[in-house]
């Protein structure tokens, strides 16, 4: 066939153009179908081989008078708050069998000892790994709380918990730690943050002393007075019978202390 201008001999240009659009649409649909099937295949692989698991955590109440709680989390999104139904309860939502946590509890005299640990380490694999922690800690007895987190986004609402001591070790983490509210007893807190931003909420009417050691990081401590050498206190520190004494070490990131009425 010979072509002249916008026409092919015996066939109008519009018809040729129409067929071209038709085949192009079929090609696009085919590509989309392959993409969707691929995505479904990846999801199916993760669901079938890795599983969609919600692991329950439960440490029931007994007659102990205080609790030592040791929580070790490899990575993920972490939420901790207070509760009344058990000493510790919650869920770990993960799609990796190897990340199932182990839970143990032993009573020694009037003290309960709880250990909650990540079972396995993160291995390279197909698809997105999910590891979401949602825990409630009792607000009825004093707790010596130790939390270790590797890589995490964490919201630790500890304002309703009776803390006797607090230790937080976070490698790479964006964290919000709420220690506001009314405290009946003094306690010490040791917080070690490697890389990440942290916001720490503290009560304005309770004495607070900060001992800050920071690397390449910004510091915001409105309402606190510097006493030199990384020591800061709030206005209530000198007159308060209850004091929260915090030692905090941060490597890289922004650190904010906020006083809450």
On whether both 11 and 130 belong to a single domain, the answer is no
State the average pLDDT over residues 224-239: 97
The contacts of residue 2 (CB under 8 Å, 6+ apart) are 9
Expressed as residue numbers, the domain containing 35 is 3-49
On whether both 80 and 112 belong to a single domain, the answer is yes
On whether both 145 and 36 belong to a single domain, the answer is no
- pLDDT-derived band of residue 51, with 50, 70 and 90 as boundaries? low
On whether both 14 and 67 belong to a single domain, the answer is no
Strands of 109-240, DSSP E: 111-118, 131-138, 143-157, 163-178, 187-195, 198-203, 207-221, 224-228, 231-234
The lowest-confidence range among 42-46, 68-72, 74-78, 237-241 is 42-46
| Number of structural domains the chain divides into | 2
Residue with more model confidence, 99 or 68: 68
At 111-170, the pLDDT tens digits run 999 999 986 555 444 357 889 999 999 999 999 999 999 999 999 999 999 999 999 999
pLDDT for position 80: 98
At 113-130, the pLDDT tens digits run 999 998 655 544 435 788
On whether both 33 and 123 belong to a single domain, the answer is no
């Amino acid at each position: 066939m010979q072509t002249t201008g916008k026409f092919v001999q015996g066939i109008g240009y519009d018809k040729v153009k129409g067929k071209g659009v038709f085949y192009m649409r079929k090609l696009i649909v085919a590509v989309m179908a392959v993409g969707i099937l691929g995505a479904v295949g990846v999801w199916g692989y993760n669901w079938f081989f890795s599983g969609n698991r919600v692991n329950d955590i439960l440490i029931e109440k007994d007659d102990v008078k205080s609790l030592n709680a040791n929580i070790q989390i490899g990575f993920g999104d972490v939420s901790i708050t207070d509760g009344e139904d058990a000493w510790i309860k919650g869920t770990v939502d993960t799609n990796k069998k190897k990340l199932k946590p182990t839970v143990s509890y032993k009573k020694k005299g009037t003290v309960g000892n709880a250990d909650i640990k990540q079972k396995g380490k993160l291995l390279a694999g197909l698809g997105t790994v999910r590891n979401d922690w949602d825990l409630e800690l009792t607000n009825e007895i004093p707790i010596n709380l130790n939390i270790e987190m590797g890589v995490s986004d964490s919201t630790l609402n500890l304002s309703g918990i009776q803390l006797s001591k607090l230790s937080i070790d976070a490698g790479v983490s964006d964290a919000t730690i709420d220690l506001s509210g009314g405290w009946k007893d003094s306690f010490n807190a040791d917080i070690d943050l490697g890389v990440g931003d942290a916001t720490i909420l503290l009560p304005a009417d309770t004495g607070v002393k900060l001992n800050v050691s920071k690397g390449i990081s910004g510091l915001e401590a409105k309402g606190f007075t510097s006493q030199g050498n990384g020591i800061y206190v709030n206005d209530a520190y000198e007159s308060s019978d209850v004091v929260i004494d915090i030692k905090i070490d941060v490597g890289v990131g922004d650190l904010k202390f906020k006083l809450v009425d």
